[in-house]
Amino acid sequence: MLVSPRKNGSLPGRNRLRLVSFGFIVFFTTISAQLGYLTVWQGRPEKPAAEYSERVPRPDIVDRNGVVLATDVSFFSLYADPRKILDVDEAVELLTATVPDLDAKTLRQKLAQPNRAFVYLKREVSPSERDAIHNLGIPGIGFRAETKRVYPMGRLASHVLGYVDVDSKGIAGIEKFLDDQGALYTASLGEDNSRAMPAVLSIDIRVQHALADELAKGIAKFRAKAGGAIVLDVRSGEVLGLVSLPDFNPNQPDKNFTFDQANRMTSGVFELGSVIKAVSFAMALDYGVADLTSRFDARAPLVIGRAVIHDFQPTRRILSLPEVFTNSSNIGTARMVLGVDAERHQAFLRRVGLMDRLVTELPENAKPILPKRWGRLVQATIAFGHGFAVQPLQGAQVVAGLLNDGNMLPVTFLKRDAADARAMAKRVVKPKTSETLRYLFRLNGLEGSARSANAKAPGYRIGGKTGTAEKVVNGRYDKSRNLTVFTGAFPMENPQYVVMVLLDEPQATPETYGFSTSGWNAVPTGGNIVARIAPLLGVEPILTDDERKAIAKQAQKEGRT
């Protein structure tokens, strides 16, 4: 054995414990001495705490074709190290004389803090001011290079982009999304430390512009309070354009935006009659409780308990299923949905994602407002969208999914490639149901309430569903205030794009013969939008001879050849 312990079983090295204790005392004392040397002996360092060198550059944001939507521009800020200011009075006098918008009182307060190492005096000084201040030669005054976020497109796509605060921190929209992914994500976009790779959005700025322009015209024409519009790529779930008016300019320095400027298409919920009726039809067809030959009694209002369901434009006859769709019959839709029990009704709505909050890259998203109890009356009113409010974008996502052979894709604001999209698709209804629904949409575009869309955009084969909801004012439905919605798709034989238009309180005009329902305002606006964006998106018109002649005549009249 290496050691020979003492016979009595006691530990031979016990007294060496004193040595160990002594060693630790030496260690701890050394550390204390070094600590005292660092903290007390050396005093505060002259330099301010190290520059914030870990600051990650913000990536540019570009649209799907590489057009810059947000970028960083560098500028200088004026700061002071009050410890080095020799004569506060002199510094205040010189600075206020050179930069008149500096307030002498606050400046004095800032400079008279001998323990501070760093204090901002003015963010963003102009180059001439910078030179003038530099020439004053005041010790303890310096400039810090900073960057500022600039949105070259101004108001365009402002709700998607969001904005940043004065410290370049994302506050809203995709800007906040980039921050929420963490510095690591933002840095992963970066090639090197100086310039980051851009974040590529799904937005097509040309489509966005046409959308904003036509919507603004529609709002002006029908004297609506506000409005919104969405264009969705059906096959990839990408949002090509999203407008909510009134919008805002993210370049505005104070960012003092009002609630009215919020993004209605995602941060607000609305009763989207048009969408919900389409969903009701899809459900009834998919569950097999109705088909194209089904008939529904719309001769008299439907009475459930003490409630009575009317049609907006009563037909007072027995309607076939396509007629229920094109006439937008509340009675017919309610009767059809009552063939499904409440549990399966809810299950279907959950499957298409209408029962849950839609979460996209945009941080601004609202939770749906759902009925608390599911009786027969609730089922009947929900069938046509009464008492069921969701984000408009959520509605557009559902309609795109229903028309896309039943393959629903989560919508996105980032560019997505086709393979990714296919992998993400979730089947919500049978392809056969989707086909029937496409027929109903197209029929409604040819003969029903969405006719005027095709009139505005001949040859683009638009199909759609309209909806007019009475707004809830003080807890009651107000018959005089409408929210009109058009949800359409084109080209209908193989839908590629979904267009949704929403107008808030459009007014009747002489041109609309005193009507303010969707077919008279949201639908023609939607038609105008399609006429502008379809050529951009490469959809070719197929014209009948009559349409060709009409266009030629129109061109002749306007003096074009």
Partner 1 sequence: MLISRSDRGLFASWWFTVDRLLLSAVLLLMAAGVLISMAASPPVAERLGLDSFHFFKNQLFYLGFAVIILIATSLLEPLQARRAAFVVFLGSLALMVVALFYGPEIKGAHRWIDIGPVGLQPSELAKPAFIVMAAWFLGENVRRPEMPGLLIAMVLAGAFVGLLVLQPDFGQSALVVITFIAMLLIYGIPWILVFGLSALAGAGVFLAYSMIPHVASRIDRFLNPEKGDTFQVDTATQAFQNGGLFGTGPGGGEAKQILPDSHTDFTFAVVGEEFGFIACMGLIILFAFIVIRILGRAKADPDPFATLAMSGLAVIFGLQAVINMGVNVSLLPAKGMTLPFISYGGSSLMGMAFAMGLVLAFARARMGVAAADSAWRSVTA
Single residue of 21, 188, 193, 313 touching partner 1 by CB under 8 A: 21
Minimal distance, residue 142 CB to partner 1, in Å? 16
Phi and psi at 244, nearest 5°, equal -135, 120
Closest approach of partner 1 to the CB of residue 343, in Å: 33
The token pair at 21 is 């204790």
Binding mask 417-436 for partner 1 (x = CB under 8 A): --------------------
CB-CB neighbours of 470 under 10 Å: 16
Q: How far is CA 119 from the centre of its chain?
A: 37
Cβ count near 13 (within 10 Å): 10
Tell me, yes or no, if 274 is annotated catalytic.
yes
Which of 11, 552 has the CB closer to partner 1? Answer: 11
Beta carbon nearer to partner 1, 18 or 479 = 18
**Residue 7: is it exposed, middle or buried by C-beta count within 10 angstroms (0-12/13-18/19+)?**
exposed
Which amino acid is present at 479?
K
Among 94, 117, 550, 551, binds partner 1 (CB under 8 A): 117
Q: How far is the CB of 3 from partner 1 (least distance, A)?
A: 5
3-state secondary structure 253-303: CCCCCCHHHCCHHHHCCECCHHHHHHHHHHHHHHHCCCCCCCEEECCCCEE
- Of residues 247 through 306, those in contact with partner 1 by CB under 8 A are none
- Name the residue nearer to partner 1 (CB basis): 48 or 371: 48
Which 53-112 positions form the footprint of partner 1 (CB under 8 A)? 53-54
Cα gap 16→155, rounded to integer Å: 78
Rounded to the nearest 10 degrees, the angle between the axes of helix 273-287 and helix 342-351 is 110
Nearer to partner 1, 183 or 455 (CB): 183
| Pair type for strands 141-150 and 119-125 | unpaired
How distant is the alpha carbon of residue 338 from its chain centre? 35
Q: Which two tokens stand for residue 329?
A: 């019959």
Residues for the chain: how many in total? 561
If binding means CB under 8 A, how many residues of this protein chain bind partner 1? 49
CB of 73 to partner 1, least distance (A): 25
Looking only at residues 131 through 190 of this chain, which bind partner 1 when binding is defined by CB under 8 A? 179-185
List the catalytic residue out of 274, 280, 294, 452. Answer: 274
**Residue span 32-61 as binding mask against partner 1, x where in contact by CB under 8 A, dash where not:** x-xxx-xxx-xxxx--xxx-xxx-------
DSSP structural state of residue 14: T
HSE at residue 486, side-chain half, CA atoms within 13 A, is 37
Q: Which is nearer to partner 1, 43 or 510 (CB)?
A: 43
126 belongs to the binding site for partner 1 (CB under 8 A): no
Say whether residue 120 binds partner 1 (CB under 8 A). no
Asked if the peptide bond before residue 491 counts as cis, ω within 30 degrees of 0, the response is yes
Give CA–CA dist 279/284, Å, rounded.
9
Q: CB-wise, 17 or 136, nearer to partner 1? A: 17
Q: Is 17 in the site for partner 1 (CB under 8 A)?
A: yes
- The residues of the shown chain that bind partner 1, judged by CB under 8 A, are 1-5, 9-14, 16-21, 24-25, 27-28, 30-32, 34-36, 38-40, 42-45, 48-50, 52-54, 117-118, 179-185
**Hey, which residues are catalytic here?**
274
